[in-house]
Structures are given as C-alpha cells and as structure tokens.
C-alpha cells in the first residue's frame, strides 16, 4: 500500500517489472479491516484477529495508524515476507525492486542511473532487459 498517490503505486509496479520482483497494488480500506486490530488493553494490537483476512492490507493499515492518518509524507508498504526466503536461505527478493524504486526517486545521479524506469510511459527508459532477473 502506498500513501502518496497513484504515482508511487505505478512506480512500484514499473520497478517490479524492471527488476523481476513483481508487485501489485492491494486495496486499502481501513473502514473494513479496522476491527482486525481491536484490543481490550491497547489502542491497537500488532497482529490481526483473523490470519486469513487480507493480512497485507492489514499491515498497511497498521503502518498508517502508527504514522498517523494525517502524516504529510509519502510511504509505501511492500509486503515481502513470503518471497524473501526459501527454507533457511534468502532469495534476494526485493533488493532490486527497492534499488530501482528509490533510486528512481533519488536526487543522486548515481542512484538514478541504476534505476532505468519512467512512470510516464510505464517502461524502462533504456533497454533494461539485461537488468531483469531470470527466474
């Protein structure tokens, strides 16, 4: 989930296609999932009541609630807990995605040079087939 508009969601999808670490925006409906965090002793518990109820969207709500719904900055939640490991070994999922996504939005020329995406046309600015992972 992204707080900062469709631009960040689209940039994440494009960065995923470019890196091979695919992502897709999920619904963010706090009014429908707020009850998942009900607690008798705290403002909000840090685990959902029903583990089969949109846990990725619930995690986005948890972040939003703790940043504050009036938080003026942009944020993005990439739920990568499942694909980052295979057994006891790391897969490397997410590293390329985040380098490209945040590099594209960096003020640093070096970081921008390794982030060949353009959200305007939804594709790579250069021929970035070589940068895509082969799975």
- Is the per-residue pLDDT at 134 higher than 50? no
H or E stretch covering 131: none
**Token representation of residue 67:** 């940043």
Torsion of CA 9, 63, 114, 119, to 10 degrees: 10
Q: Which domains does the chain have, with CATH numbers?
A: 2-131 (3.40.630.10)
- Is the per-residue pLDDT at 126 higher than 50? no
For residue range 41-99, what is the model confidence (pLDDT) as tens digits?
767 766 776 766 777 777 778 888 878 888 888 888 888 877 888 888 989 999 999 99
Cβ-contact 77, 1 below 8 angstroms: yes
pTM: predicted TM-score of the whole model, two decimal places: 0.69
Task: Between 126 and 103, name the one with better pLDDT.
Answer: 103
Q: Which residues pair with 118 in a beta bridge?
A: 123
- Is the per-residue pLDDT at 133 higher than 60? no
State the Cα–Cα distance between residues 93 and 84, nearest whole angstrom.
Answer: 5
């Amino acid at each position: 989930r992204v707080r900062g508009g469709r631009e960040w969601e689209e940039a994440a999808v494009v960065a995923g296609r470019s890196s091979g670490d695919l992502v897709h925006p999920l619904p963010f409906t706090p009014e429908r999932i707020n009850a998942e965090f009900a607690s008798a002793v705290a403002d909000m518990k840090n685990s959902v009541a029903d583990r089969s109820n949109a846990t990725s969207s619930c995690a986005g709500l948890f972040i939003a609630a703790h940043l504050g719904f009036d938080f003026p900055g942009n944020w993005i939640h990439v739920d990568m807990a499942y694909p980052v490991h295979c057994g006891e070994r790391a897969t490397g999922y997410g590293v390329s995605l985040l380098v490209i996504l945040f590099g594209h939005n960096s003020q640093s020329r070096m970081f921008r040079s390794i982030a060949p995406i353009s959200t305007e046309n939804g594709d790579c600015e250069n021929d970035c087939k070589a940068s895509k992972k082969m799975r």
